[in-house]
Structure 1
Amino acid sequence: MSKFPHTRFFPGRSKAVVISGPEIQVVNSQTGSILCSTANLEGDLRESLLKSGPIRCVDVDNGLRHVVTVGDDKKMKVWDTESLKVLSERELPKKPTEVRFTKDGQTILTADKFGDIFSYPLHPGSETAPTQSSNRPKFVSHDNPSGGKLILGHTSLLTTFLLTKDEKYIVTADRDEHIRVSWYPQGYNIESYCLGHEKFVSALHIPTKSPSKLISGGGDPSLKLWDWYEGRLQTEIRILERVEPYIKIKVPQGKGGRWDEDGDDGEEGGQRGRRRGRKGKGKSKADGNQSETPQPEGITEDMDVQMGDVNEEQKRADQEPELETILAIRRIATVGSSNSGEGPQDLVFSAIGATALFSCPYPGTTTPDTGQETADTIIVVCDLGHPVLDFVVIEDHEEAGALFWVLLDGEWGIRAGADGAPPTKMVRAVRYRNGEFIVLDEGSESPLLSSLNSTAVLSATPAQLSSLDLYAALSSLPKNTHADHDPMDRSETGSALGDSSSTKLGGKHMGKLKTRMALAAAMSESKQLKPAEQMEEDQRDGKKLKQGE
């Protein structure tokens, strides 16, 4: 029986919250016992939970009293961690990319795929009445069925955001390489931009000991260190060559950046299109009115079958997409390299689909005369053998350094087709001390860690695991910039109809291409210059007309 991996983990002194697919579990931090779990719900509550699908966005308040979750149904639910009772349920206007509690735990912020950030009170009241009933003008992009307050908006999908320590500013990042620093909650006041990324930004972090600095990462080959208040890039840390060998999850080339009309992922629309194509193909084959093609002389039936097999294999080879490696930073953290509060910090980060944690010294903040500097640093790798889904860092002052809880895709080897590959642990504990990673063995496991790898692991069906889409960001974050997919690129239009490569285009695309070329030819004929004799006669007529005037 397959198992759900843990996708998010929130540890606390007395209890911890763990997310596994659509399930929420509250675990005793000292004994590892399960305090409450949504897997024990029954009746309509259980059916409603499963209907919501996997939990895509989640956060807890500082005291671990409340949990906010959002699933595929775009319903934002607030849970009480004492009994996992649903305190409120509100519908969001678009699919969210991240949710966060403010420091006091009384406000929830959501970022969505349409580029907007809304705020909601912890407990809905009369102020959350549907905005459609008001008399204000209706704006499609900002309509909110639950009365959320619009904080700010981007013109691109928001990937992540965070509040500064004093909560006076909100830092947002989008898929179009932008990082914006705005006032909070007056998001219409923009303080600065941190511009310099050439690909999407997927991770932001403000170090606790350096609150004026911002570290960002995404699809670029380097992490960037900013003075976020002034929007100035201070240094870069090259990571691509060190991280790329550990990225085991690859995606089909040129399949990124697909979106439907609602600003959501285009997966569903693509599947509908493929289903229609298969249906039409099957119908044509089943048509009994089609006449049989006579066999040419010298071609036997056995040879025809063999040629058919070869053609099918060739078609499958042509349709097999080329895979490419996508760098997408998942999370960035800073930890002290020693237990003395004055010591330097190190950076620790992970990448989506990579099997390791990575660390490097925190770069110096002195800006050279050129304004920028590329830090040539040594990156330490902790390879755990399975893709890292997320990690949580806990400062450990008794032991030098910090303790990491690393969430793994434990059954990745089995799903990848490795025969006899045993499932690994879903959570590993890694200590970081003096710039080195130390993976804790089984004998040093705490009761909480043992529980996360045994009693807290829930069974899942293959369909439920498939619906998780653990690595969907590798396809949705990169923009499709390949020339052969660019609808405005007409460089190959002339050759598309003149050689055999045109047969690779579908009939629908060929029809559109022929129509455009016919229209262009008709327009060029209508604008052709007149013969030389006609031009001379027109000139003489023009002179006579001027003389008469």
Structure 2
Amino acid sequence: MSKLPHSRLFHGPSKTIVISGPEIQVLDSQSGSVLRSTVNLDNTLRESVTKSGPIRCVSVDNEFAHIVSVGDDKKMKVWETEGLKLLSERELPKKPTDVQFTKDGQTILTSDKFGDIFSYPLHPVLETSEASADRLKFVSHDNPSGGKLILGHTSLLTSFLLTEDEKYIITSDRDEHIRVSWYPQGYNIESYCLGHKKFVCALHIPPKSPSVLISGGGDPVLKVWNWYTGKFLRDIRILEHVEPYIKVKVPKGKKSRWDNEDGDGDSPESGQKHAKRGKKWKGKAKANETGKSEEPETDEVIGVAGQEDVEMTSADKVADEKAQPELETVLAVSKIATVGTSSTSTSDGPASIIFSATGATALFLCPYPSRDGPDTRQSAAEVNITACDLERPILDFIVTEDDSERGALLLVLLDGEWGVSQGEQSVSTKMVRTLRCRNDEFIMSDEEDRSSLVASLNSASVLPSNPAQLTSLELYAALSSLPKNTLTERDPMDRPDPDTLIDDGGNKTGGKQLAKMRTRRALAAALSPETKERGGKKPKTDS
């Protein structure tokens, strides 16, 4: 039977929170035993969990007292870790891209695909009608749960973080922008970090260098900034090192079902209806053109590995090549972290940068650049990047320990079901692996793999699944949703003259477009000076 991979992990001294599809489990960090699980909730809550679909955004407060999660239904749920009690459920206005607690755990921040960041109190507060009316003056759409608008972008927000003192909020979007704004007065912009040429989806401030920001996304480099001034410091070239390990490919120009930016009508049920309806319409369109129906297209991200080779005739191969969409490799840095303390006398920053990429089977490590280096781009040859291939796509990683002598200890979440063909028995693959990072090198540790917590994450906390549930996870949707569509056959603004559109019968076509164009031309002619001189009609004026 298939198994649900772990998508997120939060590790604390006494409790560890693990997310698997729609499920939340609370484990004892020492023994690894499962303390609480949404699988064991009563019927009413259990139905709510299953209807919400896979958890898309989740966070845990610093005290590990509360969990906030959002699924496909846009319902933000706040859970009490002790007993896994559901405290509140609030509807978000648009599909979220990230959710975080503030340091005191009393405020929840959410970013969404409409480009906004809202704040919510930990516990819902009844809002007066006057306060609601005043709040609606400043938002472009209604917020059913009374969230306070912090700031807004004109593009899909991909990531955000608060600075250590929580005086500033740093946001990134799909249009290559990084903005530094005051918090909570997000309308005051402190600086921009501009220079990315593709989407930005990973931000990190090293705890040991709080004035520095490291960013990454679709560009072939990681960028290092002084975020307060917006000053660019240096590039770290990564593409050549990462690309060989990106094993999940996607069809060119195809978007995932989750990429519905307006966020309307996107509950699991309505989303499935829309997807099916879209396929049905595509099928009808093809039937009208060819006189026969064809198989509907799918919106799933396609991985190229794990498919069986079958013997085909040359004609079958040609037909299969035509049916298969063209696949491409997309770089999307998914997470950045820093570990260690630099041993150089010229820098008091971290020793190493660790990062992962969506759909890549390796974790990557490079030295943290010296502050005293020149403010110029570093070539790939100047940066020593180490890759540790774990043979399965990496979904997440966390640093659980950072010891000056033993190095940093990492827990890495893997997609253990990746590459398993339909009908084939699932192979025994670990969902979680441990790594040590010391002196700019990765060290595999079988002993730590056998620890009680890791053993439980690979056995007792692994939940059964089926192929349909695995498909609904859309673990690699970012590879399709974040890149802009650069494959348009023509410039949409380069419109042909409707008068030149001739059908097979020699008749002019253009429909409404032709009629609108003729109206504009007639109006322009009526208002032109030449028309006035010839005694043409003049527009009416108030006198």
Give the TM interval when normalised to the shorter protein.
0.7 to 0.9
Partner of 1:451: 456
Letter in 1 for 2:183: Y
- In the alignment, structure 2 segments of 5+ residues that lack a partner are 294-312, 524-533, 535-543
**Deviation per CA, 1:8-64, whole angstroms, max 9, x where unpaired?**
001111111100000000001111111010011131111111001111000001110
The SS at the match of 1:141 is coil
Is the 2:136–2:142 Cα contact (8 Å) retained in structure 1?
A: no
- 1:89-488 aligned at under 5 Å gives the runs 89-127=89-127, 134=133, 141-256=140-255, 260=260, 262=262, 269=274, 271-278=276-283, 317-336=321-340, 344-366=350-372, 368=374, 371-374=375-378, 376-397=382-403, 399-415=405-421, 422-441=427-446, 445-484=450-489, 486-488=491-493
**Deviation per CA, 1:378-429, whole angstroms, max 9, x where unpaired?**
10000000000000012332752100000000010214x6967723100001
1:488 offset after TM fit, Å? 3.1
1:69 offset after TM fit, Å? 0.4
The SS at the match of 2:468 is helix
RMSD: 3.8
1:366 offset after TM fit, Å? 3.4
Letter in 2 for 1:426: M
1:141 offset after TM fit, Å? 2.8
Distance verdict in 2 for CA 1:512–1:92, change over 3 Å = farther
Q: Which moved more, 1:42-51 or 1:201-210?
A: 42-51
Letter in 2 for 1:219: G
The SS at the match of 2:353 is strand
Distance verdict in 2 for CA 1:319–1:523, change over 3 Å = farther
Letter in 2 for 1:53: G
Distance verdict in 2 for CA 1:394–1:130, change over 3 Å = farther
**Deviation per CA, 1:177-205, whole angstroms, max 9, x where unpaired?**
00000000110000000000000001000
- 1:3-14 aligned at under 5 Å gives the runs 3-14=3-14
Is the 1:57–1:99 Cα contact (8 Å) retained in structure 2?
A: yes
**Deviation per CA, 1:139-171, whole angstroms, max 9, x where unpaired?**
663421111111000000100000000111000
1:445 offset after TM fit, Å? 1.9
Letter in 2 for 1:474: L
Is the 1:160–1:204 Cα contact (8 Å) retained in structure 2?
A: yes
Alpha-carbon separation, structure 1, partners of 2:204 and 2:109: 17
Letter in 2 for 1:447: S
Alpha-carbon separation, structure 1, partners of 2:28 and 2:354: 27
1:439 offset after TM fit, Å? 1.6
1:525 offset after TM fit, Å? 11
Alpha-carbon separation, structure 1, partners of 2:497 and 2:341: 56
Q: Which moved more, 1:140-149 or 1:427-436?
A: 140-149
Is the 2:208–2:350 Cα contact (8 Å) retained in structure 1?
A: no
Is the 2:132–2:146 Cα contact (8 Å) retained in structure 1?
A: no
**Deviation per CA, 1:278-313, whole angstroms, max 9, x where unpaired?**
357679659xxxxxxxxxxxxxxxxxxxxxx99997
Letter in 2 for 1:396: D
Alpha-carbon separation, structure 1, partners of 2:359 and 2:68: 26
1:216 offset after TM fit, Å? 0.1
Distance verdict in 2 for CA 1:231–1:498, change over 3 Å = farther
Is the 2:501–2:510 Cα contact (8 Å) retained in structure 1?
A: no
Is the 2:499–2:508 Cα contact (8 Å) retained in structure 1?
A: no
1:443 offset after TM fit, Å? 6.9
Distance verdict in 2 for CA 1:520–1:227, change over 3 Å = same
Partner of 1:545: none
Aligned residues: 495
- Determine which structure has more spread, i.e. the larger CA radius of gyration: 1
Letter in 2 for 1:61: D
Q: Which moved more, 1:350-359 or 1:436-445?
A: 436-445
Alpha-carbon separation, structure 2, partners of 1:513 and 1:210: 64
1:458 offset after TM fit, Å? 0.4
Is the 1:120–1:149 Cα contact (8 Å) retained in structure 2?
A: yes
The SS at the match of 1:390 is strand
Query: 1:33 aligned to 2:33?
Result: yes
Alpha-carbon separation, structure 2, partners of 1:513 and 1:28: 70
Task: Please report the TM-score for the alignment, with normalisation by the length of structure 1.
Answer: 0.81
Is the 2:431–2:458 Cα contact (8 Å) retained in structure 1?
A: yes
Distance verdict in 2 for CA 1:520–1:72, change over 3 Å = closer
Letter in 2 for 1:373: R
Is the 2:343–2:351 Cα contact (8 Å) retained in structure 1?
A: no
Q: Which moved more, 1:42-51 or 1:179-188?
A: 42-51
